[in-house]
Every structure is written in structure tokens, then in C-alpha cells.
């Protein structure tokens, strides 16, 4: 039995792991025995029951056993080894495109083979390509698997069977080790009915054989429940910690005299909605305080978040501090710049602009104005927070974000805040509402204000799902909209991640529309245009010199042209719900009726159909956000899947949402009564990644 604790024991301690495998494990972020134990399966396969060949269905994963009846090499487009087996109820072929001579000999007629794989339709009827297989003694050879087979996340060159072998070794060692400490205080475990940690690990790596296969998604899987609970708790604790770290810092207490705010409100052509007023009250209360604000402003598309950010800015400027406003894209930053110029310049406020593309003397001048405090409000992209940008007295940072970038941006900004003696306040605006469960987990370190209603008189957008076969009619509807004095967007969506292709599609569409609608002026905007070009197209559209704007998804967020009341989205089936909702939100911004046509390319997959129907049936961003989470999962929504930030080993926000209230309660208990446990829990589940939340 090892003396050291499991995270001190290198993988090479296990039978069969040498330096080269150790390197492969490193790719999976597994460095010691504890990491290995916490490398958890993401699904299971059932290899405890042999299927009968006559009962299997296409697409099923099955365990089969049968006698080999033929074995031959076929020459088609690709050479393959085909081996047919029968269990007396039917015949199925196993097909190998990569095979060796030895394999052909081993799979000789009359032998019995046991195999596992997915059933598909092949040249000879039902087939399994590259099954996992082994030769067995006969039809009655005993089955070796007596529990569901865990399938782990893995990397090239690391087969599941080897992973299982090593994890089993680790489990045996942990069995006799006191090291896998149950960190959860008994009070919490019993209150929320959680099993012990070792039991949980045993269950998850070796599910009982009578577990149903859907057991992974079953909340009554006690092992998984315990681990998911602990993991969510660790994330929650981490967020709380970063929050309390922030609260220990000092922000300037912005004591506004409201002079500018009152002037601004006097000139505003509309009255704030009740929701807007409430949100601003919450924000200004925070700004008055010397604890740094970290507040999320949520509201549906079109609910009027920009005005609130303007009021918050004025509050800071009224108090003698500077404001930095960051938008996720150049085009959106540009638009905010225009709005703020319009709103603020006659109030005598100097509004500046900074983007990555600003170079040379103009950039130098801008930096000078910021450092001297001459520029009170700066608007731009990430460029606002590059190292050489210095502020005289930055009091408030506003981030208008597409929430799929949420976590990353907070990371850079908190970083920036570190460089000044006083931490600025932060206001984060999300493009669309965040589902409650996500807000409770990914944004647990933020306070939140929600604008519940849209400005008075807004009509729900009328949305239709139309097949590309009816493109002609869609073009006619543009003519109708323009004849009434309104404008339209035609959006060409991203094709297979290729920006170049979608730009090409937009160019072609713009040409076609120009031919079909000779009396209507058509404009084009996309991400590869120069900033001046983009700007002039957007200005022309705003001034109605352009009636139809063909665009890529660059116009997704924030573009605000209330006279446009028709939007055509091409290939909407490629987009997620949040993005569609965001795009569609470019219309419906005044009291005229707006329309959205989802122009899809048939045939539609089942999932795409479901997404598009959600869009047709609802314009409620809060509802759509919940559906989005349900259909896509949290990682996709937060865009953190690739980076590993905020990704869970075992918890799944959607499935485990029911745990979140209890997790929150537990995190409060731990902070109050068991503070010493917090750090260890965070370390166990987040390891080095915890840095992302504590910068």
C-alpha cells in the first residue's frame, strides 16, 4: 500500500505505464493517480447481454456472438475484409477496411467470435464496421463483463480497454488508501442524501450490472449525483471566492451630482420603462459604494440596455471618473460610438474611439487623451485593454458582450483592473438572457439586474419558416416591405466555419437581388471589409440610401435601425437558438409590425426542425434561452468547450440543474462553518484551472 497521497503518486507507479504513456496521459490532463480516478466516463455501453441477430436495429450498439460462416477480401472502391457470422437467428457481416493477414487467418470459418459495435447498413445488408472483437471458445463461453462498460474521454493512441485497465488498478489502490478523503462535511452529505466519495467513484467506474443504460442521464444514479454535486459545489465555491476577493478591493465611490444624468434624460425622446428604471437604480446604488461593482445587466434583445449603460456612464463622469466601454466586434463598437457621440457630445463630454485598427498618430493622440483624463469616455474593442493603454482615473468598465465569450472577457478585464490602485466598477451586458441555471453556475460571482419588459408598443415579430424552394416569393416580400418605406436585412450565415465562403454567398446574393429588384438599392456588409467601408454602408442604411442590406452574421449583435422591419435569414438551420434570436432582434425595434423569414435548405434534421419551431413560436428571449440550454448544453452556450474553461468533468448543467439550489445552500454552509474545506474542494475539481476565476 502506498504511503504517499494519491496525487503524489506518478502514473508510472501503475503496471504498464511508462514514460511514453505518461505523456499521452498528460494530454488528458492526467498527471497522477488522483487525476486518473477522477477521469470520469462520459457514457456507458452495455456489454453484459448478448443480442440476438434477428432483433437488432440499425444504429444500435450491440454485443453479438456467432459462428464465422465466411471470410473473404472484397475489392470495391476500397479493399475490405468481410467476415459473416451467424447465431442461428440471422447473419451479419463484420467489415474491416484496415486489416492484417494475421487477422484474416484468425477469423477463420467455424470459429466463434464475440464482437461489439454499431449496426449499420452496408453492401451486404446489416454490417458492423471495425467492431471490437475477440475469438471465444464456443457459443456458451462465459461473459466477462458483469457491469456496464464505461467509456472515457480519451486521446489518440489510448484505447478504451487500456484506460479501463489502468483506472481499475487505481481503484484498487484507492480502496485501501485513506487518501481519497471525503471532503464533504457529514452535515452536508446527510442533509442532501449523498453517498460517500469512494462508493461514488466505484459506482461511476463500475456501474452495477442491473443499471439501465440510460443510467448516465438518470438522476437516481447515486454515484453520479454525489460527484456532480461535489463538482458543482467546487465551482460555486470558486466563484464565491473570486467574488469575495474582489470585494476586498476598493473601488472609487462614485458620488454623482446627477447634473449630466438629468440633462440627458431631459433630451431623451422616450420615457424609461419601469424595468429600465429599476435596473439603473440598482446600478447607481452599487456605483455609490466603494466595493467594486460586478453586475450583469440582462434583458431581452431590444429591451433598451444601451440607454442604461449611458446612464451608468454619466453617473461615473458626473463624479469625475472615466468610462471604458468595450464591445465584442468592431461594427458594434462603431455603432455604440455613434450613439454615444450623438447623446454625449452636446453635453460637453469628450467621447473617444480605440480599436486594433487605429494606428500611428491618431492612436498616440488617443492614448494621450486617456492618460491626461481629457477623454472622459472611450469606446472600442479589446484594444481598450492592451498593455500600453493607460487611464487617468478609470471608474467604470462596461462590457457589451455576446455571452458566449463571457468567461474569457471577465478574465482579461479583472486582469486589467489589477494594474490600478483602485479597482474600477464593472457592468456586463449580455446580448440575450441567460438561463437561470447557467446564471447560477457560470455567473455566480456576479450580481444581476434584469429588465423584464420591452418598451411600450413593441409588437411580437411575425416569424415564418420557408423552404428555399420558395425563394421567389421571399424576394417579392422584400419589394412589398420597401414599397411601404421600410427596409430589410438579408443575412447569409456562416458556411461550415468558413468566413470566406459566407462572404462569397453574401456577394452572390447581393448581385442576384440587385438583378431581381432593379428599382431597389441593395447594400452589402461583411467582416472582411475595411472599417471605413463598413461604416459608410451602415450609415447609408441608417439614412435609407440603402433599402436592403445583405450581410453576414457581422450584424448579429447590437445593430439598431428601427426602420428595418423585415429580416430574411438564410440557412438558419446552421445556427443555434441564441444566435437566431439575437439576429432576429435587429427587427421589431419600433412600433411597426416586423417579419422574419427563416429561409432553410431542405431537408431539415430533426434537431434543426425543433430549433426553428421554437423560433417561430416564441419571441421571448428568456424562454428561448432555456430551450437553447436544453437542446445544446452549457458548454456550447458558453463557448468554453474548446478552451476547457468552465467545463465539467461529470456535472451537466442541464441534467443536474435540480441540484443547484442545494449546491448553493451547501456553499453557504461551507463558507460559514467549514472554510478549510473550500480550498481542497476547489483544488480537487478545478486544479490549476481555478486561476480563471480568481484573477
Bridge partners of 112?
67, 136
Count Cβ atoms within 10 A of the Cβ of residue 328 and give its class: 0-12 exposed, 13-18 middle, 19 or more buried.
buried
Q: Considering the rule CB under 6 A, would residue 322 count as an interface residue with ligand ADP?
A: no
Q: Which residue has the cell 452495477?
A: 208
Residue 56 Cα distances to 95, 147, 166, 679, angstroms? 17, 21, 32, 50
Q: Who contacts 20 (Cβ-Cβ below 8 Å, separation ≥6)?
A: none
Nearest to 598 by CA among 515, 477, 480, 687: 477
Taking the mean position of all CA atoms in its chain, how far away is CA 443?
13
Residues that bind Mg ion (CB under 5 A): 558
Helices (H) and strands (E) in the chain, counts: 24, 21
Could you tell me the smallest distance in angstroms from the CB atom of residue 266 to ligand ADP?
A: 15
Binder of residue 346, out of ligand ADP, Mg ion, none (CB less than 5 to 8 A by kind): none
Write the interaction track for ligand ADP spanning residues 231-270; mark x where CB under 6 A is met and - where it is not: ---------------------------------------x
Binder of residue 328, out of ligand ADP, Mg ion, none (CB less than 5 to 8 A by kind): none
Nearest to 228 by CA among 680, 688, 648, 668: 648
Q: Which is nearer to Mg ion, 352 or 558 (CB)?
A: 558
Could you tell me the smallest distance in angstroms from the CB atom of residue 275 to ligand ADP?
A: 9
Query: Using CB under 6 A, which of the segments 69-77, 305-313, 512-520, 675-683 binds ligand ADP?
Result: 305-313
Which residue's Cβ lies closest to Mg ion?
558
Binder of residue 302, out of Mg ion, ligand ADP, none (CB less than 5 to 8 A by kind): ligand ADP
Binder of residue 560, out of ligand ADP, Mg ion, none (CB less than 5 to 8 A by kind): ligand ADP
Could you tell me the smallest distance in angstroms from the CB atom of residue 303 to ligand ADP?
A: 4
Angle at 644 between CA 642 and CA 648, to 5 degrees: 120
Q: Considering the rule CB under 6 A, would residue 307 count as an interface residue with ligand ADP?
A: yes
DSSP letters, 405-422, are: GHHHHHHHHHHHHHTSSS
Q: Considering the rule CB under 6 A, would residue 594 count as an interface residue with ligand ADP?
A: no
Among 41, 207, 252, 299, binds ligand ADP (CB under 6 A): 299
Angle between helix 577-584 and helix 606-617 axes, rounded to 10 deg: 40
For the stretch 224-250, what's the b/e string if a residue is b when 16 or more beta carbons lie within 10 angstroms of its beta carbon?
A: bbbbbbbbbbbbbbbbbbbbeebeebe
* 550-569 positions binding ligand ADP, by CB under 6 A: 560, 562
Binder of residue 150, out of ligand ADP, Mg ion, none (CB less than 5 to 8 A by kind): none
DSSP label of 664: H
Q: Are 625 and 435 in contact (CB under 8 A)?
A: yes
Query: Using CB under 6 A, which of the segments 3-11, 155-163, 271-279, 390-398 binds ligand ADP?
Result: 271-279
Q: Considering the rule CB under 6 A, would residue 427 count as an interface residue with ligand ADP?
A: no
Binder of residue 303, out of ligand ADP, Mg ion, none (CB less than 5 to 8 A by kind): ligand ADP
Could you tell me the smallest distance in angstroms from the CB atom of residue 332 to ligand ADP?
A: 10
What cell was used for 518? 432593379
Residue 118 Cα distances to 45, 57, 410, 600, 607, angstroms? 11, 9, 43, 31, 22
* 436-455 positions binding ligand ADP, by CB under 6 A: 455
Count of residues that bind ligand ADP according to CB under 6 A:
17
Which residue's Cβ lies closest to ligand ADP?
304
Binder of residue 272, out of Mg ion, ligand ADP, none (CB less than 5 to 8 A by kind): ligand ADP
Q: Considering the rule CB under 6 A, would residue 430 count as an interface residue with ligand ADP?
A: no
Cα–Cα distance, 99 to 79 (Å, whole number)? 10
Q: Are 136 and 114 in contact (CB under 8 A)?
A: yes
Q: Are 573 and 600 in contact (CB under 8 A)?
A: yes
Query: Using CB under 6 A, which of the segments 89-97, 298-306, 363-371, 669-677 binds ligand ADP?
Result: 298-306
Binder of residue 352, out of Mg ion, ligand ADP, none (CB less than 5 to 8 A by kind): none
Q: Which is nearer to ligand ADP, 242 or 284 (CB)?
A: 284
Cα–Cα distance, 370 to 392 (Å, whole number)? 6
Could you tell me the smallest distance in angstroms from the CB atom of residue 306 to ligand ADP?
A: 3
Q: Which residue has the cell 426602420?
A: 563
Q: Which is nearer to ligand ADP, 201 or 272 (CB)?
A: 272
Cα–Cα distance, 40 to 649 (Å, whole number)? 7
Could you tell me the smallest distance in angstroms from the CB atom of residue 395 to ligand ADP?
A: 22
Could you tell me the smallest distance in angstroms from the CB atom of residue 539 to ligand ADP?
A: 16
Among 273, 284, 298, 319, binds ligand ADP (CB under 6 A): 273
What cell was used for 298? 440582462
Could you tell me the smallest distance in angstroms from the CB atom of residue 625 to Mg ion?
A: 16
Bridge partners of 494?
none
Binder of residue 542, out of Mg ion, ligand ADP, none (CB less than 5 to 8 A by kind): none
Q: Considering the rule CB under 6 A, would residue 432 count as an interface residue with ligand ADP?
A: no
SS3 (DSSP) at 259: helix
Q: Who contacts 339 (Cβ-Cβ below 8 Å, separation ≥6)?
A: 306, 310, 560
Q: Are 455 and 582 in contact (CB under 8 A)?
A: no
Binder of residue 589, out of ligand ADP, Mg ion, none (CB less than 5 to 8 A by kind): ligand ADP
Write the interaction track for ligand ADP spanning residues 82-121; mark x where CB under 6 A is met and - where it is not: ----------------------------------------
Cα–Cα distance, 574 to 571 (Å, whole number)? 6
Q: Which is nearer to ligand ADP, 92 or 587 (CB)?
A: 587
Binder of residue 505, out of ligand ADP, Mg ion, none (CB less than 5 to 8 A by kind): none
For the chain, the residue count is: 695
Q: Are 547 and 520 in contact (CB under 8 A)?
A: yes
Bridge partners of 427?
295, 398
Among 149, 303, 552, 594, binds ligand ADP (CB under 6 A): 303
Contacts to ligand ADP by CB under 6 A: 270-273, 276, 299, 301-307, 455, 560, 562, 589
Amino acid at each position: 500500500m502506498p504511503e504517499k497521497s494519491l496525487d503524489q503518486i506518478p502514473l508510472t507507479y501503475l503496471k504498464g505505464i511508462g514514460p511514453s504513456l505518461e505523456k499521452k496521459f498528460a494530454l488528458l490532463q492526467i498527471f497522477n493517480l488522483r487525476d486518473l480516478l477522477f477521469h470520469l466516463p462520459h457514457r456507458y455501453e452495455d456489454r453484459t447481454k448478448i443480442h440476438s441477430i434477428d432483433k437488432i436495429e440499425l444504429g444500435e450498439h450491440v454485443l453479438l456472438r456467432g459462428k464465422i460462416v465466411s471470410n473473404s477480401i472484397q475489392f470495391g472502391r476500397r479493399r475490405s475484409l468481410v467476415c459473416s457470422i451467424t447465431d442461428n437467428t440471422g447473419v451479419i457481416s463484420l467489415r474491416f477496411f484496415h486489416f492484417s493477414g494475421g487477422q484474416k487467418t484468425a477469423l477463420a470459418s467455424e470459429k466463434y467470435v464475440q464482437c461489439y459495435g454499431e449496426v449499420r447498413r452496408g453492401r451486404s445488408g446489416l454490417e458492423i464496421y471495425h467492431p471490437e472483437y475477440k475469438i471465444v471458445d464456443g457459443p456458451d463461453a462465459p461473459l466477462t463483463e458483469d457491469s456496464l462498460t464505461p467509456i472515457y474521454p480519451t486521446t489518440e493512441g489510448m484505447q478504451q480497454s487500456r484506460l479501463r485497465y489502468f483506472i481499475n488498478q487505481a481503484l484498487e489502490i484507492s480502496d485501501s488508501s485513506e487518501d481519497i478523503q471525503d471532503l464533504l462535511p457529514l452535515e452536508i452529505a446527510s442533509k442532501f442524501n449523498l453517498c460517500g466519495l469512494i462508493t461514488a467513484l466505484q459506482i461511476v467506474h463500475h456501474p452495477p450490472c442491473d443499471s439501465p443504460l440510460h443510467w448516465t442521464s438518470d438522476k437516481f444514479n447515486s454515484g453520479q449525483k454525489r460527484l456532480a454535486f461535489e463538482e458543482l459545489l467546487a465551482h460555486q465555491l470558486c466563484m464565491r471566492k473570486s467574488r469575495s476577493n474582489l470585494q476586498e478591493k476598493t473601488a472609487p465611490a462614485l458620488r454623482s451630482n446627477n447634473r449630466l444624468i438629468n440633462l440627458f434624460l431631459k433630451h431623451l425622446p422616450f420615457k424609461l420603462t419601469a424595468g429600465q428604471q429599476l435596473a439603473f437604480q440598482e446600478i447607481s446604488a452599487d456605483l455609490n459604494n466603494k466595493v467594486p461593482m460586478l453586475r450583469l445587466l440582462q434583458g431581452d434583445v431590444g429591451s433598451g440596455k444601451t440607454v442604461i449603460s449611458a446612464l451608468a456612464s454619466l453617473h461615473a463622469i458626473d463624479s469625475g471618473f472615466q468610462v471604458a466601454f468595450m464591445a465584442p466586434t468592431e461594427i458594434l463598437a462603431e455603432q455604440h460610438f455613434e450613439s454615444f457621440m450623438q447623446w454625449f457630445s452636446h453635453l460637453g463630454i469628450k467621447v473617444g474611439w480605440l480599436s486594433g485598427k487605429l494606428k500611428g498618430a491618431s492612436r498616440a493622440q488617443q492614448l494621450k487623451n486617456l492618460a491626461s483624463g481629457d477623454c472622459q469616455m472611450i469606446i472600442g474593442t479589446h484594444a481598450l485593454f492592451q498593455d500600453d493603454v493607460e487611464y487617468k482615473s478609470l471608474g467604470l468598465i462596461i462590457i457589451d458582450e455576446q455571452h458566449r465569450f463571457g468567461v474569457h472577457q471577465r478574465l482579461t478585464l479583472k486582469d486589467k483592473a489589477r494594474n490600478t490602485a483602485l479597482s474600477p466598477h464593472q457592468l456586463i451586458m449580455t446580448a440575450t438572457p441567460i438561463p437561470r441555471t447557467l446564471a447560477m453556475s457560470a455567473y455566480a460571482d456576479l450580481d444581476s439586474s434584469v429588465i423584464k419588459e420591452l418598451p411600450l408598443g413593441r409588437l411580437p415579430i411575425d416569424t415564418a419558416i420557408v423552404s428555399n424552394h420558395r425563394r421567389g416569393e421571399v424576394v417579392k416580400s422584400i419589394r412589398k416591405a420597401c414599397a411601404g418605406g421600410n427596409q430589410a436585412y438579408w443575412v447569409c450565415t456562416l458556411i461550415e466555419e468558413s468566413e470566406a465562403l459566407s462572404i462569397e454567398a453574401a456577394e452572390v446574393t447581393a448581385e442576384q437581388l440587385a438583378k431581381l429588384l432593379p428599382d431597389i438599392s441593395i447594400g452589402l456588409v461583411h467582416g472582411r471589409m475595411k472599417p471605413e467601408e463598413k461604416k459608410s454602408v451602415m450609415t447609408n442604411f441608417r439614412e435609407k440610401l440603402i433599402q436592403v442590406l445583405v450581410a453576414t452574421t457581422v450584424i448579429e449583435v447590437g445593430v439598431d435601425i428601427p426602420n428595418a422591419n423585415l429580416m430574411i435569414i438564410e440557412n438558419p438551420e446552421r445556427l443555434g437558438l441564441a444566435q437566431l434570436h439575437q439576429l432576429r432582434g435587429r427587427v421589431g425595434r419600433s412600433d411597426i409590425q416586423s417579419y422574419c423569414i427563416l429561409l432553410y435548405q431542405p431537408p431539415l434534421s430533426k434537431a434543426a426542425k425543433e430549433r426553428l419551431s421554437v423560433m417561430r413560436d416564441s419571441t421571448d428571449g428568456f424562454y428561448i434561452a432555456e430551450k437553447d440550454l436544453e437542446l445544446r448544453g452549457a458548454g456550447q452556450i458558453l463557448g468554453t468547450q474548446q478552451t476547457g474553461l468552465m467545463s465539467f468533468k461529470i456535472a451537466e448543467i442541464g441534467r443536474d440543474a435540480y441540484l443547484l439550489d442545494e449546491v448553493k445552500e451547501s456553499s453557504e454552509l461551507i463558507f460559514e462553518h467549514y472554510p478549510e474545506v473550500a480550498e481542497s474542494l476547489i483544488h480537487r475539481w478545478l486544479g490549476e484551472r481555478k486561476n480563471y476565476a480568481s484573477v
